[in-house]
Chain A
Amino acid sequence: MIGNDRLAVRKTYKLYVNGAFPRSESGRTYEVTDAKGHFLANAAWASRKDARDAVVAARGAFAKWSGATAYNRGQVLYRVAEVMEGRHAQFCEEVAAGEGLSSSKARAAVDAAIDRWVWYAGWTDKLGAVLGGSNPVAGPYFDFSLPEPTGVVAVLAPQQSSLLGLVSVFAPVLATGNTAVVVSSKERPLPAVTLGEVLATSDVPGGVVNLLTGDAEELGPWLAEHADVDAIDLTGAPAGRAMEFEREAAGTIKRVVRAPAGGEPDWAADPGITRMTPFLETKTVWHPMGL
């Protein structure tokens, strides 16, 4: 029988890098509290070297993930949604505690996040038809364009919306065939940690997603300047630093998604495809006709 004298199992979460759960290379952790300031758990506090390792892992995973058929990527991402559904209660609890929401609002946010994931999973094999196609050209050529993933994408996830916002910025990166290094919300990292556990137990190959808990202000400059990062999403960049990160990203001609003006948008709104297109490059092929 378990009585009230049972010792609490306090959690110290780790990072999710290259399909494994390492501690931060720096050995640092920080306390995560709920919206009222009560202790929830310890989380790993990622350092720049963790970010560097995550980029190496993401680069290593890129060939396989981008080379998978769009149909297969869609299936894998749908499987992630299935596993998320199994963790529904845990997500609800973490979102409610972290964001200070009522349980019904938290449930609505989790439902929306899982639906968002399914929605992006469905897009994988349809983007080519929407964004690509054959082009009319003034010559005897068959000319067509295809969208292709850009590579390794660094994502500074929203600081407020810890699950729906996270999924909204990060699922489109995966759906388009990129690999990702995600820095979670600093104050509300637990849904990201759980999402890491979901990804580890679904079919997403190790290294495709690397989740770092920690401070976007600290890691942002390193990811923005990193020469092996092809694009960066600055949604969760701290106020006042986003412009600086953009400038640093320009040094290696990265694709940049700018931080939203006027705070975080309403994540529940229909996202359209505007979060997928920034991470795609268009390849156009000129094929001589004849024979």
Chain B
Amino acid sequence: MTHVLDPDALSHDARALVAPLPPYDDVTRSDAAFRAFLHGLPGVDQVGAEARAAQLGTRSIKTTSKAWAIDTAISMVDLTTLEGADTPGKVRSLAAKAKQPDPTDPTTPKVAAVCVYGDLAGVAREALQGTGIHVAAVATAFPSGRASKAVKLADVRDAVDNGADEIDMVIDRGAFLAGRYLDVYDEIVAVKEACGDAHLKVILETGELKTLDNVRRASWIAMLAGGDFIKTSTGKINPAATLPVCLVMLEAVRDFRAATGRQIGMKPAGGIRTTKDAIKHLVMINETVGPDWLDPDWFRFGASSLLNDLLLQRQKLRTGHYSGPDYVTVD
């Protein structure tokens, strides 16, 4: 290895600190073994995955099914603001929207979580006290992940101390693309430990992984390392969550549960803006991994503008006429 991105990176022949769940407890015994395991995963038929995703996207979901899908999708939203210009006031108004997405209709379900930068997690925690809505914080030098491990772990602990009960970390794509899979694995293990009781979502940033084979490998690394959720993207890179990528990741969580008995959640993020997109994802879950994942504990949408479109569609179903952007909040 000549290309070392992290001066604290493990040496070439290092052994993983913590072994994964059986029957995979020996795959991390060495760099070479882990690479052999990951490259031994079945290859992804890219054309097939795209065709399957496109075909599932043609399902027509109408009337009562659509109403159910909209309410389910709203309850799965991680309402997100990740801007440099975020203020405590903006986070508080987002929290208010998370609690009551549509003030004109109290039957609208609340969202699953509010997702902010770690330094604002405290503001979100205070605003959401007692609501059951989770506070998710991005950490580990989000979105690039380009910092030393010590800085990343400090970032995680800081977010947890501020009140986040879900941590969205980014994997080290540089290490992944350089082939240092064990380093990626160990970093996730260390972050998981730093999380304590907080749930860990592992962002693969699939837009930077280039191939679906890489997406499958990165998904397995994240699951083996103890991530509670795997998440497609930061939302800062295009392309973000595409249907074929989600299909491959859903197949990975399905296969992982079949092998180990542990269920992992899935969170597409970025690029999901319309109700139609959201419903396509719900159809895909049902057809790929089954209804066990049709639950906010196991599936989330990382989104900001999606919620308004879901609310507009909900208003359309309720009132019978088309609504407009004047009837939802400006974010």
Interface residues of A (CB under 8 A from B): 52, 55, 59, 222, 225-229, 248, 251
Q: Please state if A55 and B325 are interface contacts (CB–CB under 8 Å).
A: no
Contacts of B68 in A (CB 8 A): none
Q: A226, A228, A248: which contacts B325 (Cβ < 8 A)?
A: A228
Q: Please state if B322 and A222 are interface contacts (CB–CB under 8 Å).
A: yes
Shortest Cβ distance from B321 into A: residue: A225
Least CB distance from B57 to A in Å reads: 16
Contacts of B326 in A (CB 8 A): 227-228
A52 to B320 CA separation, bound complex (whole angstroms): 13
Q: Please state if A59 and B324 are interface contacts (CB–CB under 8 Å).
A: yes
Contacts of B315 in A (CB 8 A): 227
A59 to B326 CA separation, bound complex (whole angstroms): 11
Contacts of A227 in B (CB 8 A): 315, 321-324, 326-327
A222 to B321 CA separation, bound complex (whole angstroms): 7
Q: Please state if A225 and B322 are interface contacts (CB–CB under 8 Å).
A: yes
14 CB < 8 A contacts A-B:
A52-B322, A59-B324, A59-B325, A222-B322, A225-B321, A225-B322, A226-B321, A226-B324, A227-B322, A227-B326, A227-B327, A228-B322, A228-B323, A248-B321
Shortest Cβ distance from A51 into B: residue: B322
Interface residues of B (CB under 8 A from A): 315, 320-327
3 nearest CB pairs, A to B: A228-B324, A225-B321, A227-B324
A227 to B328 CA separation, bound complex (whole angstroms): 12
Q: A55-B324, A222-B321 are in contact. List 18 more A-B contacts (CB 8 A).
A: A52-B322, A55-B322, A59-B325, A222-B322, A225-B322, A226-B322, A227-B315, A227-B321, A227-B322, A227-B324, A227-B326, A227-B327, A228-B323, A228-B324, A228-B325, A228-B326, A229-B324, A251-B321
Least CB distance from A229 to B in Å reads: 8
Contacts of B320 in A (CB 8 A): 225
- A to B contact number (C-beta, < 8 Å): 28
Contacts of A59 in B (CB 8 A): 324-325
A59 to B315 CA separation, bound complex (whole angstroms): 18
Shortest Cβ distance from A152 into B: residue: B324
Least CB distance from A268 to B in Å reads: 36
Name, among B315, B324, B326, the residue most crowded by chain A CB atoms within 10 Å (CB to CB): B324
A222 to B324 CA separation, bound complex (whole angstroms): 13
A59 to B323 CA separation, bound complex (whole angstroms): 12
A222 to B322 CA separation, bound complex (whole angstroms): 7
Contacts of A229 in B (CB 8 A): 324
Contacts of A225 in B (CB 8 A): 320-322
A133 to B325 CA separation, bound complex (whole angstroms): 32
A227 to B325 CA separation, bound complex (whole angstroms): 9
Contacts of A226 in B (CB 8 A): 321-322, 324
Name, among B320, B321, B325, the residue most crowded by chain A CB atoms within 10 Å (CB to CB): B321
A226 to B321 CA separation, bound complex (whole angstroms): 6
A126 to B322 CA separation, bound complex (whole angstroms): 35
Least CB distance from A183 to B in Å reads: 15
A251 to B321 CA separation, bound complex (whole angstroms): 10
Least CB distance from B322 to A in Å reads: 4
Contacts of B324 in A (CB 8 A): 55, 59, 226-229
A52 to B321 CA separation, bound complex (whole angstroms): 10
A227 to B315 CA separation, bound complex (whole angstroms): 10
Least CB distance from A271 to B in Å reads: 30
Contacts of B327 in A (CB 8 A): 227
Least CB distance from B312 to A in Å reads: 9
Least CB distance from B315 to A in Å reads: 8
A225 to B324 CA separation, bound complex (whole angstroms): 11
Shortest Cβ distance from A52 into B: residue: B322
Least CB distance from B241 to A in Å reads: 22
Contacts of B321 in A (CB 8 A): 222, 225-227, 248, 251
A26 to B238 CA separation, bound complex (whole angstroms): 32
Least CB distance from A52 to B in Å reads: 6
